A and B are shown apart, each in its own frame.
Chain A
Amino acid sequence: MAKGVKPRVKVPKTAAAGETITIKTLISHKMETGRRKDGDGNVIPRSIINRFTCEFNGENVVDVNMEPAISVNPYFQFEATVPEAGEFVFTWYDDDGSVYEKKKSIKIA
Chain B
Amino acid sequence: MKITSLLPLAFSIATVAGFVTAGEDSTLTIEGEVFVTKAAAPAHLENVDEIFSGWTFRLDETQALQMDDFDNPAFVFVDQALDQFEMVEGSAGKACSSCHDSAEVFSGLRASMPRVNSAGELETIPELINNCRTERMGAEKWKWSGGQMSAMLGLIGLQSRGMPVEVAIDGPAASFWEKGKELYYMRVGQLDMACSSCHEDNYGNMIRADHLSQGQINGFPTYRLKNAKLNTIHGRFKGCMKNIRATPFKEGSDEFKALELYVASRANGLSVETPSVRN
Task: Show the binding face of A for B, using Cβ within 8 Å.
Answer: 4, 6, 8, 10, 22, 24, 26, 28, 61-62, 64, 70-81
Contact = CB atoms under 8 A, between A and B. Distances in A.
Interface stretch (B1-9, B115-123, B159-167, B231-239): B1-9
B1 A75 contact: no
A26 B69 CA distance: 12
A18 B83 CA distance: 39
A75 B76 contact: no
Given A24-B70, A26-B70, A81-B1, A71 B6 contact: no
Interface residues of B, number: 23
B12 to A, nearest CB: 5
A81 B1 CA distance: 7
Nearest to B15: A77
B254 interface: no
A64 B3 contact: yes
Interface string B216-227: 000000000000
21 contacts: A4-B80, A4-B83, A22-B19, A28-B79, A64-B3, A64-B6, A71-B9, A71-B11, A72-B8, A72-B9, A73-B73, A73-B76, A74-B9, A75-B5, A75-B8, A75-B9, A76-B3, A77-B16, A78-B3, A79-B1, A79-B2
Given A24-B70, A26-B9, A71-B9, A78 B76 contact: no
Contacts, number: 58
Contacts of A73: 8-9, 73, 76
A8 B77 CA distance: 13
B8 A70 contact: yes
A6 B79 contact: yes
A24 B4 CA distance: 10
Nearest to A74: B8
Interface in B5-64: 5-12, 15-16, 19
